[in-house]
Chains A and B, each alone.
Chain A
Amino acid sequence: MPPAAPDAPLDQAAVLAALRARVARLEGVGRAQHEAGAIPVCEGLPLPGGGLARAAVHEVLATEPGCGAAFCAVLLARTGGTVLWIASGRDGLLAWPPGLARCGLVPTNLVLIRAERWPDALWAMEEALRCPAVTGALLALAWEPHRQAGDGTLDLTATRRLQLAAETGGALGLLLRPDAARLEHTAAATRWRVGPRHAAGAGHGLDDPRWQLELLRARGGRPGGPWAVTWRAAAGRLDLDAEETASVARTGRDASA
């Protein structure tokens, strides 16, 4: 069989897809049984696999507590089963079910856990992810700065453990943490940053929160964003604001230039 001519047009997309499938087969040995489909995030976002993969751990960096918690609640509600919300530390911030219910996280599916010690929080998260009856688990790091040394450290080892647990149990794992300047490398499948975005024109009210999403890291995909999205609670979906996204991207490019 003659070798392909060097100038023959390669079907780049097909080759990439085949390679990705092969890598996924190699990586996700135990994952095939949890193919319940990825969690959709938002229509129009170019995400690998079409959304957040189940049986994996994802990081969410929040610049404000409110939007971070709400974004995670939206994602957890879409897993469609029992969700464990693990709050670590002696934080004065409580997850508030009446508000979370508006994000789709109904109290029937929600179990709240408070772990004051950091090792306990990690243990609880791992146990939760390992359990096949749990579809989603969130570990919320404390917002208050006065923490003991070692609290809230999510290094490669810890996240790798969580990732393995998630692959066993098939749940969606979310790590909600404040957006800090320095972040260590983790084994999370994706890393997101979510922040509030104040409305360009006044008069929209406060009913439909607007966020700015950014995909900082993605295993097997490329980072993207920032995207401007609006959470429409009544419809239960995130809408991409194309115009604003374009303007945000423009200002971002201008700023970096």
Chain B
Amino acid sequence: MTGPPHPALRLPTDSAIVRRFLALYLPCLATDRLRRMEPDLPADRPLATWAPSGNRQVLVAVDQVAATAGLRPGQALADAQTIAPHLLLRPADPEGDARALHALALWARCYTPLTAVDPPDGLLLDITGCDHLLGGEAALLRDALAQLQRAGITARGAVAGAAATSAALARARGDNPIAVSGIEAAVAAPLPLGPALRLPPTMLADLARLGLRRVCDLLDQPRGPLARRFGQELLDRLDAVTGQRRTAIRPVLPPPDVAVVQDLLEPIITRTGIDAVLDRLLDALCARLRQAGLGARRVVLLAWRVDGMVQEVAIGTGRPVREAAHLRRLFAERLERLEPGLGFERMALEARATEPMAAGTQVGLGIDGRRDAATAEALAQLLDRLAQRLRVQRIASIASHWPERSVAALGPHATPPVMPVGWAAAALPVLLLRRPAPLEAMVALLPDGPPSLLRWHGGTHRVHWAEGPQRLEPEWWRDRPGLLRRDYYRVELASGARLWICRTGPPEATRWLLHGHLP
């Protein structure tokens, strides 16, 4: 009779690809970020961030110097200032830290398309199949740590066959280990519980009272009582770290459908250089798209700057495209947004949205039967180009009688709307004022009648002819309360100008507004 095998002895059951994860632990992210933002801060003085906690002020994050001086997070601010009188203090900014972490996760996409944040101070990279580009996992890890170091961010790392295992190794060990897949439980066993499982301090203290200090101590315990005493959460974390429970990472960006990358030996700064790289990338991307039978709807140019910033330029197209010349024209309008700074060392093109596209759909100007398709294609390309810089709209009608609301703007590539009922029949203005303009003084013969005189553009105009009123009530089911009804008149002035004006307001204080120009 055989019981369930010991977790440490279980062989990898993943029949598919063995995944590999790289975890980066950034212990001093908050203070590193501050030093990056304020380069004038003296490097030899301790730096910490603080936040109010209840009615006390406590440290939230400390840098390396401060930690050496004996400061630690959670300490009262007054105590810390006594211990280290030179302490530099800044208010904590958790949202800023989260943004910085997210930005770092985007930067890490230079190694793999699957990068995730591991809040509050970690990154997780799925480097399955990506390590050979830099000459192995160890080289990749070294490169990442060196890049972070250059950007002024303290980091430790680890590679393992499960995300949680690599994160635990990065936190609990300082030697940037690389663990082979399948022995997650064995490598996790000697790790101390605190950093490995990231447990709350109270639970950690309770476990320590029972003599449980390492992961292997927990593995030796029966699971039932552990779950009853400390909750399922503890066992879940334990299983994740020992590789029993595979957790998927949630990438900051979904992996692109098609991507091409170009590493640059020398950082490029000039527009000419960027154009040349872009040309090469576009040709490669379009070749890949053609192979895959796809057309791109959204293409993003990513540029990694020497100082660790990632810049993006995105273009969208109205229909699937894989014609390098067209994409190049679209990018040409946008490239000025890139700020090379000290130069770009790596550029990539990602097709983030693609659609299947039959071969040979993109022909030049066709003849005969292809004429319509070619015309539609030319129009779509024109609208794509215009939409990169300007607001391009098609118009649809909405079932509403309130003039401002009766049309809706569609995208440039929306299906052309059919002619709405009633548009051509009614005599409506050809030009509408975005905001109805008040007319200064109006004289009406009757309180409810049309005006006989109006002052407009500094001159007084006699009304020659008027038709109306057409009363429009506000749409109470959509409008905010208090909107007033309008009585519209079509008037012709003595000069011949035809205007669309309306009267609004309560009877004792009516106002006249100019709202449009009739043909």
Contact residues of A with B, CB < 8 Å?
64-67, 69-70, 73, 82, 92-103, 106-115, 120, 123-124, 127-128, 131-134, 195-199, 202, 205-207, 209-210, 231, 233
* Contact present for B424 and A120 (CB under 8 Å): no
* Contact present for B431 and A196 (CB under 8 Å): no
* Contact present for B407 and A97 (CB under 8 Å): yes
* Contact present for B496 and A197 (CB under 8 Å): yes
Given A111-B383, A127-B386, A209-B518, A66–B430 Cβ distance below 8 Å?
yes
Instruction: Tell me which residues across on chain A come within 8 A of B365, comparing CB atoms.
Output: 132
Q: Determine how close the nearest CB of chain A comes to the CB of B374; give it in whole angstroms.
A: 8
Instruction: Tell me which residues across on chain B come within 8 A of A207, comparing CB atoms.
Output: 427
Q: Determine how close the nearest CB of chain A comes to the CB of B518; give it in whole angstroms.
A: 5
Given A102-B427, A133-B378, A93–B392 Cβ distance below 8 Å?
no
Residues B474-500 near A (CB distance < 8 A): 490, 492-499
12 A-B pairs within 8 Å (CB atoms) are namely A65-B431, A66-B429, A66-B430, A94-B432, A96-B516, A98-B397, A98-B420, A102-B425, A114-B393, A123-B389, A199-B465, A210-B496
Q: Which of B115-123, B255-263, B410-418 contacts A (4 or more CB under 8 A)?
A: B410-418
* Contact present for A111 and B412 (CB under 8 Å): yes
* Contact present for A109 and B430 (CB under 8 Å): no
* Contact present for A98 and B423 (CB under 8 Å): yes
Instruction: Tell me which residues across on chain A come within 8 A of B433, comparing CB atoms.
Output: 92-94
Q: Determine how close the nearest CB of chain B comes to the CB of A73; give it in whole angstroms.
A: 6
Q: Determine how close the nearest CB of chain B comes to the CB of A246; give it in whole angstroms.
A: 19
Q: Determine how close the nearest CB of chain A comes to the CB of B474; give it in whole angstroms.
A: 19
Instruction: Tell me which residues across on chain A come within 8 A of B391, comparing CB atoms.
Output: 113-114
Q: Does B6 contact A (CB under 8 A)?
A: no
Given A69-B517, A102-B424, A113-B392, A92–B434 Cβ distance below 8 Å?
yes
Instruction: Tell me which residues across on chain B come within 8 A of A107, comparing CB atoms.
Output: 394-397, 416-420, 423
* Contact present for B379 and A92 (CB under 8 Å): no
Residue of B nearest to A114 (CB): B391
Per-residue interface assignment for chain B, residues 419 to 451, with 1 indicating a CB less than 8 Å from any chain A CB and 0 otherwise: 110011111111111110100000000000000
Instruction: Tell me which residues across on chain B come within 8 A of A133, comparing CB atoms.
Output: 375-376, 378-379, 382
Residue of B nearest to A95 (CB): B431
Given A65-B517, A108-B416, A70–B394 Cβ distance below 8 Å?
no
* Contact present for B497 and A113 (CB under 8 Å): no
Residues B337-351 near A (CB distance < 8 A): none
Instruction: Tell me which residues across on chain B come within 8 A of A127, comparing CB atoms.
Output: 382, 385-386
* Contact present for B416 and A109 (CB under 8 Å): yes
* Contact present for A202 and B431 (CB under 8 Å): no
Q: Does B467 contact A (CB under 8 A)?
A: yes
* Contact present for A94 and B424 (CB under 8 Å): no
A128–B269 Cα distance when bound, in Å, is 33
Residues B492-518 near A (CB distance < 8 A): 492-499, 516-518
* Contact present for B497 and A69 (CB under 8 Å): no
Q: Does B519 contact A (CB under 8 A)?
A: yes
Given A127-B385, A127-B386, A134-B379, A100–B517 Cβ distance below 8 Å?
no
Residue of B nearest to A93 (CB): B431
Instruction: Tell me which residues across on chain B come within 8 A of A198, comparing CB atoms.
Output: 464, 492-496
Q: Does B470 contact A (CB under 8 A)?
A: no
* Contact present for A115 and B390 (CB under 8 Å): yes
Q: Determine how close the nearest CB of chain A comes to the CB of B388; give it in whole angstroms.
A: 11
Contact residues of B with A, CB < 8 Å?
365, 375-376, 378-379, 381-383, 385-386, 389-397, 406-407, 409, 412, 416-420, 423-435, 437, 464-465, 467, 490, 492-499, 516-519
Other than the given A98-B423, A206-B427, 7 more pairs (CB < 8 A) read A64-B517, A65-B517, A110-B395, A112-B392, A113-B390, A132-B365, A198-B494
* Contact present for A102 and B386 (CB under 8 Å): no
Across the A-B interface, give the 6 residue pairs with the lowest CB-CB distance, nearest first. Answer: A70-B519, A196-B496, A66-B517, A133-B379, A198-B496, A99-B428
Residue in A82, A98, A199 whose beta carbon sits within 8 Å of that of B406 in the complex: A98
* Tally of contacts, chain A with chain B, CB under 8 A: 179
A199–B424 Cα distance when bound, in Å, is 23
Q: Determine how close the nearest CB of chain A comes to the CB of B383; give it in whole angstroms.
A: 7
A195–B495 Cα distance when bound, in Å, is 10
* Contact present for A113 and B516 (CB under 8 Å): no
Given A66-B430, A102-B423, A107-B395, A206–B497 Cβ distance below 8 Å?
no
* Contact present for B382 and A66 (CB under 8 Å): no
A231–B386 Cα distance when bound, in Å, is 33
A195–B517 Cα distance when bound, in Å, is 13
Residue of A nearest to B407 (CB): A97
Given A101-B419, A102-B423, A196-B497, A69–B394 Cβ distance below 8 Å?
no
Q: Determine how close the nearest CB of chain A comes to the CB of B435; give it in whole angstroms.
A: 6
Instruction: Tell me which residues across on chain B come within 8 A of A123, comparing CB atoms.
Output: 389
Given A113-B390, A198-B495, A206-B518, A82–B427 Cβ distance below 8 Å?
no
Residue of B nearest to A81 (CB): B375
Residue of A nearest to B375 (CB): A133
Instruction: Tell me which residues across on chain B come within 8 A of A113, comparing CB atoms.
Output: 386, 390-393
A88–B386 Cα distance when bound, in Å, is 14
Given A112-B393, A120-B389, A95–B379 Cβ distance below 8 Å?
no
Q: Determine how close the nearest CB of chain B comes to the CB of A148; give it in whole angstroms.
A: 18
Residue of A nearest to B490 (CB): A206
Instruction: Tell me which residues across on chain A come within 8 A of B516, comparing CB atoms.
Output: 66, 96, 99
Q: Determine how close the nearest CB of chain B comes to the CB of A135; give it in whole angstroms.
A: 10
Q: Determine how close the nearest CB of chain B comes to the CB of A115; give it in whole angstroms.
A: 5
Given A127-B382, A132-B365, A96–B428 Cβ distance below 8 Å?
yes
Residue of B nearest to A67 (CB): B519
A70–B390 Cα distance when bound, in Å, is 24
* Contact present for B497 and A64 (CB under 8 Å): yes
Given A66-B519, A196-B498, A206-B427, A94–B419 Cβ distance below 8 Å?
no
* Contact present for A131 and B430 (CB under 8 Å): no
Max count, chain A CB within 10 A of own CB: residue among B379, B437, B499: B379
Instruction: Tell me which residues across on chain B come within 8 A of A112, comparing CB atoms.
Output: 392-395, 409
Instruction: Tell me which residues across on chain B come within 8 A of A98, comparing CB atoms.
Output: 397, 406-407, 420, 423, 426, 428
Residue of A nearest to B516 (CB): A96
Residue in A93, A96, A131 whose beta carbon sits within 8 Å of that of B378 in the complex: A131
Residue of A nearest to B432 (CB): A96
Instruction: Tell me which residues across on chain B come within 8 A of A64, comparing CB atoms.
Output: 495-498, 517
Max count, chain A CB within 10 A of own CB: residue among B381, B383, B431, B497: B431
* Contact present for B519 and A111 (CB under 8 Å): no
Q: Determine how close the nearest CB of chain A comes to the CB of B368; give it in whole angstroms.
A: 15
Q: Determine how close the nearest CB of chain A comes to the CB of B408; give it in whole angstroms.
A: 10
Given A70-B519, A103-B430, A132–B395 Cβ distance below 8 Å?
no
Instruction: Tell me which residues across on chain B come within 8 A of A209, comparing CB atoms.
Output: 498, 518-519
A38–B79 Cα distance when bound, in Å, is 89
Given A101-B424, A120-B389, A195-B496, A96–B419 Cβ distance below 8 Å?
no
